[in-house]
Amino acid sequence: MGAPDSDARDGGDLDGFHIGHLPSGIGDLVSDFASEWEDVSFATRVWERQVEDGHRVDLRVHVLRGERLGTLAELRDFLAEYHERDPAEWELTEFQHVDSSGLIGAAEAFLPGRARVGRGRWLAAPGVAVDVLVDQERFTTDTLRAVTQGITAPESPAASPTCVRR
């Protein structure tokens, strides 16, 4: 998978999803990773930039796949555990992404169970989710929302990876 061109404001394809919008000023160092945690697989793309004392991450996009990610509540619980957040203090609000609901905070937005397909159509895909995180010192919640809204799935279910990999 080649590194996408950040000047084109397009993040390329990641595990069956297209990242169609990148914020201006995003770092040009791009890395892809694959991992698994608690029976959930992660395909991750990270954009970072060089700073005086090393590197700083501007944006992370995770495509998560696992049976335990069937609902928004299950995804929220999983991510609270994964990111070691106190669910009672994690400030998130619901937002609409075409005809699906997700949750968004100051630096993170996520959507479960559905993938955008084509021009506003949606494909039910239980067990798949997208999680987007930005550096909140550099980017606003509106920027986070724009990146999240720009993530789409392939045109046909056959082109998409299976929902759960073993």
User: What percentage of the chain exceeds 90 in pLDDT?
Assistant: 58
Residues 6+ apart with CB under 8 A from 17: 63, 115, 130, 151, 152, 153
Query: What pTM does this model have?
Result: 0.81
How many CB atoms are located within 10 Å of the residue 146 CB?
15
Instruction: Tally the C-alpha atoms within 13 A of residue 31's C-alpha that lie toward its C-beta.
Output: 10
What digits encode the pLDDT tens for the residues 30-69? 999 999 999 999 999 999 999 999 999 999 999 999 988 8
CA–CA separation, 165 and 146 (whole Å): 29
What digits encode the pLDDT tens for the residues 102-138? 899 999 999 876 544 444 444 446 688 999 999 999 9
